[in-house]
Structure 1
Amino acid sequence: MTKKIAISVPDDVAERLAREPNVSAFVAESVRRVMAGERTRQALRNVGFALTDAGLAEAGRKLDEAQAKITPELRAEAAALLSESSRGRLAIHG
């Protein structure tokens, strides 16, 4: 079942939606992703994780910092190691 609704969005969001061939599907998928995140956070809270907006923001910042340190050279080295290990030929460098 579907329901037609009218919404107002800021100009930048409207410009982004204008590029979508099916705005309804795009919005529905976006909202479902938010809902999935909410369910995940609630499940984590239910088993004892104390999640806060500040804690999530800090974790996101740390993840961004870590990802920024991944150079193309490091990515290539990791890919080579993964390839070697999958063939059972991983040599440990000391």
Structure 2
Amino acid sequence: MTKKIAISVPDDVAERLAEEPNVSAFVTESIRRRMAGESTRRALEQVGFKITDEALEEAGRKLDQAHRAITPELRAKAAALLSEASRGRMQVGG
């Protein structure tokens, strides 16, 4: 079952939504991801992990920094190592 609702959003959000061919699907997926995150956070808190917004923001900054550190050269080297490892596994299994 679905329900039609009207919402007000800031201009920048409205501009982004205007790019979507199916705004309802986009918003639904976004909200479901948020709900899944909230559920995961509650589950982790129930088993003793204290998760703060500040810690999540810091983790996000560190992840962004790590992503920026991945150069095309590093990516190529990692691909070569994975390929080499894969060939080694194939020989052992063959």
**After TM superposition, is the score higher than 0.5?**
yes
Aligned to 1:4: 4
Percent identity, aligned pairs only? 79
Is 2:43 the counterpart of 1:43? yes
Could you say what secondary structure the match of 1:45 adopts? helix
Alignment of 1:23-34 (within 5 A): 23-34=23-34
Alignment of 1:47-62 (within 5 A): 47-62=47-62
Q: More helix per residue: 1 or 2?
A: 2
Indicate the RMSD between aligned Cα atoms, in angstroms: 1.1
Aligned to 2:92: none
Aligned to 1:14: 14
Structure 1 position 44, deviation (Å): 1.1
Q: Deviations over 1:35-76 (max 9, x none)?
A: 111111111111111100111111111111111111110010
TM-score by length of 1: 0.89
Unaligned segments of structure 2, at least 5 residues: 90-94
TM-score by length of 2: 0.89
User: Which AA in structure 2 matches 1:79?
Assistant: A
